[in-house]
Amino acid sequence: MISTGDNRIVVLLKSLTTNNRFYTLVPPDSDLQNGDVIADFPDHLPLGIAYPCLEDGLNDFAVIRTTFETLDLFPDDQELRGEMMGIITDARVSLRRRLVELRDKLERGQAHFLGTDLDEFKEALLHLATRGHIRKTLDNMMKLDVFESVAAVEAADASGVAETVYRFELLAHHPLDILKPLPAREFVSRVFDDVLESVEGDRNYQNKYSFDKNVFQKFIVLIFVN
């Protein structure tokens, strides 16, 4: 992002509109300082995505998961359910804003994953979609209890053994054989499209399991690969 002779400095800025954070370059005498909050990111700024930029979205996921856990404790309280679903809706709106901005700025080439080669990013996602990864390892590395808990619910429903391997599943209208030949940047943008559509799908908010399986696992995979 920095050319020879470029004296711009790196700062981490936050959008008031989306709550996303991106790294960018500003002149040394710029009014913008590291940690500043701005209305939104103008199209001329080069943007860098690192782990903190995706990690911010975990706040919205945490709100949704915690709310579902509260509902599980009071399954017959319809008044509480109405209040809790309102909280979930607010978090979905926030999450959608984040993902739309990430997808759009990646797609147009304004945003770049820092320290990540997009071709390698693509190959890692393809590996997860075809060969998969051990669920327990993913949970341990990401310090979560998502992948194994999904498998446990599915095993209980089927009265079987929990599936130990997780495979990244794209929506039916984003088939892997169509996405695979795309250039890396377009491929990654389409994956963000897929996650965004999953966030928008009402059926994915029936309970904690449906949310974890169809939405949260996918987002965690993006952070894991990055």
pLDDT at 3: 52
Whether pTM exceeds 0.85:
yes
pLDDT at 4: 58
H helix intervals, the chain:
51-55, 58-73, 78-107, 118-130, 135-142, 147-158, 176-179, 184-200, 208-211, 217-225
pLDDT at 16: 95
Pairing of strands 111-113, 47-49: parallel
Helix 217-225 vs helix 118-130: angle between axes, to the nearest 10 degrees?
Answer: 140
Rounded CA-CA distance 117/4 in Å is: 21
Kindly give the confidence (pLDDT) of every residue in the chain, 226 residues in length, as a single tens digit, with 9 standing for 90 and above. Answer: 555 578 999 999 999 999 999 999 999 999 999 999 999 999 989 999 988 788 888 889 999 999 999 998 998 899 999 999 999 999 999 999 999 999 999 999 999 999 889 999 999 999 999 999 999 999 999 998 999 999 999 998 877 888 999 999 999 999 999 999 999 999 999 999 999 999 999 999 999 999 999 999 999 999 999 8
pLDDT, tens digit, 9 for 90 and up, residues 188-204: 999 999 999 999 999 99
Q: Report whether 225 contacts 128 (CB < 8 A).
A: yes
Query: With pLDDT > 90 as the criterion, what percentage of the chain qualifies?
Result: 81
Report domain extents, the chain: 9-132+167-225
Q: Report whether 64 contacts 88 (CB < 8 A).
A: yes
Q: With left for phi above 0 and alpha for psi between -120 and 50, is residue 103 left, alpha or beta?
A: alpha
Residue corresponding to tokens 């894991």: 224
- Output b/e per residue, 7-34; b: 16+ Cβ within 10 A: eeeebbbbbeebbbbbbbbbeeeeeeee
